[in-house]
Amino acid sequence: MALSERKLKILQAIITDFINSAEPIGSRTLSKKLGISISPATIRNEMSDLEDMGYLTHPHTSAGRVPSDKAYRLYVNSLMEKYELQEDDKNKITARLSNKFDELDKALANAAEILSELTNLTSFALTPGVDSNRLKYINLIPVDEKNLVMMLVTETGKVSNKIVKTTEPYSKDKIEFLSKFLTVNYKGKKLSDIMATDILESCEKDLTNIGKLVENIMPNFLSTLENMMNVELFLDGMTNIFSIPEYNNLERAKMFLEIINRKKELTEVLLNRDSGVIITIGNENIDQAIQECSLITASYCVDGKCIGKLGVIGPTRMNYGEITSIIEYMTENLSKSFRLTEGEEDE
């Protein structure tokens, strides 16, 4: 059976209505709402067909129809009209985003906050990922006779440092040498690649003259690298779940919040998503736990590389058009502001 023009129209009406009301919609109500006059009975027949085709379901015999994941997918791909953000909203977003972008972490936490407020959903922001992260700057800075600070900066602007305690006083020469050695060997290399090679061994061969110092510093070098590889997840608007009818019962709200709070797993899910605007609906999600939710994510760029993610998670019944526009606009904005602050080599 093919999807006639009319079927599509009915399906679309059901979906948009359900997105707004969260109530199953019946034939009589729908008949009244549709512009053209089709009788409830006809609509019932069409609905029945749509159900056979897998686009609608029934919570129970005497309830109205509800769109299935398949219906949402069709909706997102072709039925949904493009949502244009108001100029006014755009300005508000831009203003709030540009508040404080001097620290990546803060900017992202801020972005997540804005996003959850605008969408009334749970939002998240993920710091730039590992893959294309390269070391840009390595330095060892003396503090006092037995303490020094190791500082690493990546191309994406991530800074990490650590106080290193040496077992015996060090000479300035030695740490300068080591600093240069590290720079020569690892600058421009990917974090993951450095981690993968057996650094400790190769260093100890080359650096026998510095002796003990290497023993103090290299393990710290590695652990700091590891540290920088850890993407960080910012969540916001968790309690928005309580105002969503679908989650208006303890069991479901609890489940949702427990999933959301398993940050490691959630991060994993997000890291595995492609770049660009990605929408996954209900059972399209590979992860069992979130097959009742939809996820919309988009990636933002730092230094021209699209590796961080911003997005929302909520019930499959969400306003895909509007939310997608918001996220897209926000990530574009973030990308722009990160380019401006971090470096302007291209100008």
Residues making contact with a copy of itself (CB under 8 A): 102-103, 137, 139, 141, 143, 147, 149, 151, 153, 157, 159, 161-163, 165, 223, 227, 238-239, 242, 248-250, 253-254, 257-258, 261, 341-343
In whole angstroms, what is the distance from residue 172 CA to residue 110 CA?
A: 41
Tell the smallest beta-carbon distance from residue 161 to a copy of itself (Å): 6
123: helix, strand or coil: strand
Cβ contact 112:169 at 8 Å: no
Q: How far is CA 93 from CA 208, 225, 226, 278, in A?
A: 56, 34, 34, 21
- Measuring CA to CA, which residue among 325, 280, 330 is closest to residue 308? 330
Give 60 or 264: the residue with its C-beta nearer to DNA: 60
Binding partner selected for residue 157 from a copy of itself, DNA, none, CB under the kind-specific 5 to 8 Å limit: a copy of itself
Tell the smallest beta-carbon distance from residue 79 to DNA (Å): 20
In whole angstroms, what is the distance from residue 47 CA to residue 68 CA?
A: 12
Give 36 or 250: the residue with its C-beta nearer to a copy of itself: 250
Residues of this chain that interact with DNA (CB under 7 A) are 6, 23-29, 37-42, 44-45, 47-48, 51, 58-65
Tell the smallest beta-carbon distance from residue 344 to a copy of itself (Å): 9
Binding partner selected for residue 61 from a copy of itself, DNA, none, CB under the kind-specific 5 to 8 Å limit: DNA
Cβ contact 313:293 at 8 Å: yes
In whole angstroms, what is the distance from residue 153 CA to residue 135 CA?
A: 6
In whole angstroms, what is the distance from residue 189 CA to residue 288 CA?
A: 36
Tell the smallest beta-carbon distance from residue 266 to a copy of itself (Å): 14
Cβ contact 130:124 at 8 Å: no
Tell the smallest beta-carbon distance from residue 232 to DNA (Å): 41
Give 40 or 157: the residue with its C-beta nearer to DNA: 40
Binding partner selected for residue 47 from DNA, a copy of itself, none, CB under the kind-specific 5 to 8 Å limit: DNA
Tell the smallest beta-carbon distance from residue 84 to a copy of itself (Å): 32
Binding partner selected for residue 44 from DNA, a copy of itself, none, CB under the kind-specific 5 to 8 Å limit: DNA
Tell the smallest beta-carbon distance from residue 250 to DNA (Å): 14
Give 41 or 149: the residue with its C-beta nearer to a copy of itself: 149
In whole angstroms, what is the distance from residue 326 CA to residue 59 CA?
A: 32
b/e per residue 168-191 (b: at least 16 CB within 10 A)? eebeeebbebbbebbeebbeeebb
Query: CB-based burial of residue 297 (10 Å sphere; 0-12 exposed, 13-18 middle, 19+ buried)?
Result: buried
Binding partner selected for residue 51 from a copy of itself, DNA, none, CB under the kind-specific 5 to 8 Å limit: DNA
Encoded amino acid at 166, one letter: T
Binding partner selected for residue 249 from a copy of itself, DNA, none, CB under the kind-specific 5 to 8 Å limit: a copy of itself
Give 49 or 342: the residue with its C-beta nearer to DNA: 49
310: helix, strand or coil: strand
